[in-house]
Structure 1
């Protein structure tokens, strides 16, 4: 599928809560989109509250404007940044009109760089990236999306590279708590992930890999849930913690892979050192989940990898207690003296 087709489908997908790019449908004149849905703080209970207490928005010094993406072509014509860079090198300042243009934001919180990226004008975006200081490049719009978020949503790896090279923050989170790396891992944007991780120091990348979105998911969790095995491998090479727990129920990436019956991901995680006996908040191990889902193949793989068959969850259940008479799974527990409710589990037909 061509990248352009991918973006079109991505923009038209309904009821998606993890991509604020839909909010730009009204700007792009594709279809109306209620302003309340575009403003995460409009109902007083959205993610805006997470930022409003004691934290100042990076765009607080910017003025509002009626600037829209439709006017971008006129802006490009009126503001020749290439010549301005030469004048800047010669000590010539921007005119007041040009400075106002470059330092205004739309009612949706977008800078001219946000708009250039939304409009997929990569040439103009690169000029702006070179012109703007880092703090401006990190401005978040009303959906708390930075230019890096938008370049990732639209799969513009060259723009992502330019932003990362300029030193933008990889840790900033959008209205769903996703960093740009979360977005790339969810949607399989391999080139964008590569640009965000290739030349970033381990010390700078580590906190990004550990960041959880508002659903408690890290980038590795996102890649696992989306079955992007190549990205899982890339994140592992970059030092992602294989055993970090998501924030709602304490599942590791291995738990998620087991739930998805994704044998390739299970094998990948186990081969790279994932804890086969990692427990959720309720005490369930991956083996509990595999047996509870009657997945004999995955349960067998976990047992071959050394899973402890006798660990108990918060309900005082071992994985065997969840076998529910499945002969293939019972065969993984070669004990002739184990009984359930006074009955031997070996050779019993249920």
Structure 2
């Protein structure tokens, strides 16, 4: 895999605070968050290691906007030397680069999958590297091509160690509220992702950190409790109800979590939600399509004569 110099003219930071018009776009491509993880052959890896060993890394610079030539070197996948060091878990090299690039935009460089070094540190489950990157100036609000921040990925992969660092590091907590409320391009917040993957401890922690337990995913308006019913996950239902989930919350189609229990096998979920759902919301909402059909056929204006062709 040849390493070539790129001008990075197309590099654009994706900040969750500036993406109100973007966060509803769906990505119709295969979810890929591994960049070059495990994709290098042994001889290619040795070649990169040799090149990294020849890098001239002076002491940490106090000036921002460093112009070292090697910072512009990227692979065909858009990975920088920092990306590669983290992917291959070459900790010593990664630490040297991070020290040289304190608070430099280079730390937030994104590859072709729009993954930053912080995304890759979470993907490879390196919590110590996550902490170093955050302290060095990595922006935790940047998102990949699927709209996921590093915290979204930690919730998806169930990485408790990385989750802890991302939610407890002082730098991260400055942006934590906006990240917790930010949906990815599938409309899911971190809480939705943790619920879907049945990470109950993360679900509890996210709500305690300020995540809205009644946040609706943007596709159909389901809350985490609706999703728990869809998954027929009784433990998750119990957890969310205990955390204050609104059993009367309606989807965009007007369905409560109780409505979603119909036709499902877990009668215990149905029983528990029935007793908690407001009486006036227990009946299934009528289909809008049926109503419109009945309205049409009962209206004299909807009747018409046989179609005539050429006056016949």
1:18 to 17, 31, 51: 31
Separation (CA, whole Å) in 2 of partners of 1:313 and 1:218: 28
| Match status 1:100 vs 2:69 | yes
- Greater relative contact order (Cα 8 A, min sep 6): structure 1 or 2? 2
Separation (CA, whole Å) in 2 of partners of 1:293 and 1:199: 42
Query: Is contact 1:69-1:116 (8 Å) kept?
Result: no
Separation (CA, whole Å) in 2 of partners of 1:79 and 1:152: 26
2:127 to 146, 157, 161: 157
The size of the alignment, in residue pairs, is: 254
Query: Is contact 1:117-1:151 (8 Å) kept?
Result: yes
| Match status 1:250 vs 2:221 | yes
Stretches of structure 1 that go unaligned for 5 or more consecutive residues are 1-15, 31-67, 318-350
Aligned residue for 1:20, secondary structure, equals: coil
Separation (CA, whole Å) in 2 of partners of 1:100 and 1:273: 54
1:237 to 205, 208, 216: 208
1:85 is aligned to 59
1:332 is aligned to none
Superposition pairs of residues 307-346 of structure 1, within 5 angstroms: 307-311=277-281, 314-315=285-286
Query: Is contact 2:35-2:77 (8 Å) kept?
Result: no
What are the Cα deviations for residues 29-57 of structure 1, in whole angstroms up to 9, with x where unaligned? 39xxxxxxxxxxxxxxxxxxxxxxxxxxx
Separation (CA, whole Å) in 2 of partners of 1:172 and 1:118: 18
Deviation at 1:264, TM superposition (A): 1.2
Normalising to structure 1: TM-score of the pair?
0.66
| Match status 1:112 vs 2:90 | no
| Match status 1:124 vs 2:100 | no
Separation (CA, whole Å) in 2 of partners of 1:194 and 1:130: 23
Aligned residue for 2:109, secondary structure, equals: coil
Query: Is contact 2:152-2:189 (8 Å) kept?
Result: yes
| Match status 1:269 vs 2:281 | no
Separation (CA, whole Å) in 2 of partners of 1:290 and 1:203: 39
Separation (CA, whole Å) in 2 of partners of 1:290 and 1:154: 38
Query: Is contact 1:242-1:252 (8 Å) kept?
Result: yes
Query: Is contact 1:148-1:163 (8 Å) kept?
Result: yes
Superposition pairs of residues 197-212 of structure 1, within 5 angstroms: 197-200=167-170, 202-212=173-183
Stretches of structure 2 that go unaligned for 5 or more consecutive residues are 1-28, 289-312
Structure 1 vs Structure 2 CA RMSD: 2.6
| Match status 1:75 vs 2:12 | no
Deviation at 1:183, TM superposition (A): 0.9
1:303 is aligned to 274
Normalising to structure 2: TM-score of the pair?
0.74
Aligned residue for 1:310, secondary structure, equals: helix
Deviation at 1:148, TM superposition (A): 0.7
| Match status 1:29 vs 2:38 | no
Deviation at 1:309, TM superposition (A): 3.9
What are the Cα deviations for residues 100-155 of structure 1, in whole angstroms up to 9, with x where unaligned? 12332223211110111111112211221221134211111111011111111111
1:284 to 255, 271, 279: 255
Aligned residue for 2:232, secondary structure, equals: coil
**Structure 1 residues 128, 202: CA separation in 2 closer, same or farther (over 3 Å shift)?**
closer
Separation (CA, whole Å) in 2 of partners of 1:70 and 1:252: 48
Query: Is contact 1:69-1:115 (8 Å) kept?
Result: no
1:176 to 125, 130, 146: 146
Query: Is contact 1:287-1:309 (8 Å) kept?
Result: no
What are the Cα deviations for residues 271-310 of structure 1, in whole angstroms up to 9, with x where unaligned? 1111111111111110001234243201222234x21243
Aligned residue for 2:59, secondary structure, equals: helix
Separation (CA, whole Å) in 1 of partners of 2:187 and 2:284: 22
